[in-house]
Amino acid sequence: MSELSVAHPATSAKDPIDTPTATECIGPENEERKTPGEGDKASAPRLKILTGNDAPWPGNSYIISYQNTSKVLTFEDKNVVLAEYEGKATQRWACHSRDGWLGFANDPGDTTRWLGISTSDQADSALVAKAVSLSGGLNGFCIMKRPEDGFLILKKVNERLRPIGTGPDGSLSIRSNWGHWWAFTRIS
């Protein structure tokens, strides 16, 4: 992260302001560390920035947050859940494509799993991360930009696109209500 001098009504042009780029996402394990004596910001904590308006594109990784919250898609105990953003590797999703569909894998490695749905023909199929490869069928998504901030994550069910969202109990699944949206923050 670079420090820039930015004129702002609340500060003078001489005050350095930490200005993250739109794609930086700082979590506890990758925070920039300063030693005492490196300036007055040495002990100031860094903020976690989730911009949420980066269009997903193959070859990049993203933090995927639910609407205007700090809850993000997290691969936890072989399930996909919404959890508070902590900068963990299990909260990063690498974007790939196959046959025109986008797929999202948790941080690559021996335990990589692809985001998908549990069954292809049910309107309330749960969001899971069990597949070990991107097939396009159960784990390919269509991402649609909203006129406002954010994106719809859509899945094909019975020849129709349906949004991924949360149920009344907080579970993640295909929904019939189109009011569910997601924010993508590019991290690499």
pLDDT tens by residue, 4-41: 333 333 333 333 333 333 333 333 333 333 333 334 43
pTM score above 0.75:
no
* Neighbouring residues of 54: CB distance < 8 A, sequence distance ≥ 6: 22, 23, 62, 184, 185, 186
Q: Report, as an integer, the average pLDDT of 163-177.
A: 88
106 and 96 Cβ atoms separated by less than 8 Å? no
Q: Report, as an integer, the average pLDDT of 176-184.
A: 92
Q: Confidence class of residue 137 from pLDDT cuts 50, 70 and 90?
A: low
Q: Quick: pLDDT tens for 60-69.
A: 999 999 998 9
Q: What is the 3-state secondary structure (H, E, C) of the chain?
A: CCEEECCECCECCCCEEECCCCCCCCCHHHCCCCCCCCCCCCCCCCCCCCCCECCCCCCCEEEEEECCCCEEEEEECCEEEEEECCCCHHHCEEEEEECCEEEEEECCCCCCCEEEECCCCCCCCEEEEEECCCCCCCCCEEEEECCCCCEEEEEEECCEEEEEEECCCCCEEECCCCCCCEEEEECC
Domain annotation for the chain: domains and CATH numbers: 1-49 (no CATH), 52-186 (2.80.10.50)
- Among candidates 83, 81, 73, which has minimal Cα distance to 151? 73
Q: Quick: pLDDT tens for 67-118.
A: 989 999 999 887 899 999 999 989 999 999 988 899 999 866 677 888 888 8
Report the pLDDT value the prediction gives residue 146, as an integer from 0 to 100: 94
Place of tokens 């929904």: 175
